[in-house]
Every structure is written in structure tokens, then in C-alpha cells.
Amino acid sequence: METVSHLLLLCVTARQVWMSLLADLGHADWVPVADSRLRDWWSSLPLPRRARKDLRTAIILVFWTIWRHRNDVVFNGGQMT
């Protein structure tokens, strides 16, 4: 069964996105672990106060991008990347 946590954090494509992005940002330790639940992962992120709004916006943008890619693959015959 595909859950929101699986889709946005744990599937192969999502994990690759998070590992690459968070490593580039110097936060490889924020990569979701294999049994992460979205709500728990989100609330456990140690976001610096000064950058909290910007980082949350970036994370939501990544969620949206993963969601759109998934829908393109499922409904429009898009290619998995």
C-alpha cells in the first residue's frame, strides 16, 4: 500500500532526492530513516530559527515536486527517474 510517508519520503525516488538535496545543504543527517512517518520526520527536523520558514518552504516544494512526478508517471505515462 502506498502511504503518504512512503511516497514523499521512503520510495526509491524520494530517498534519492532527499539524500542528494540534504547532503548538498550540509544536512545529510536529516535524511528520513527507513521507517519514518511524515509527521514524525517533519516535527523532528532541527530547523534553525532564522532559516525555519525558508527551509520549510523548500521542503514543501520538494514534496510538491515528488507528488507531481508521481502523478505524471501514474496518469500520463511519464518516465521514472
- pLDDT, one tens digit per residue, over 26-78 is 999 999 998 999 999 999 999 999 999 999 999 999 999 999 999 999 999 88
Q: What's the domain count of the chain?
A: 1
DSSP string over 51-68: GHHHHHHHHHHHHHHHHH
* Residue-range definition of the domain harbouring residue 22: 4-76
- 21 domain residue, yes or no: yes
- 81 domain residue, yes or no: no
- 53 domain residue, yes or no: yes
Q: Evaluate if residue 1 carries a pLDDT over 90.
A: no
- pLDDT score for 80: 74
- pLDDT score for 2: 82
- pLDDT score for 45: 94
Q: Which residues fall within 8 angstroms of residue 12, CB to CB, at 6 or more apart?
A: none
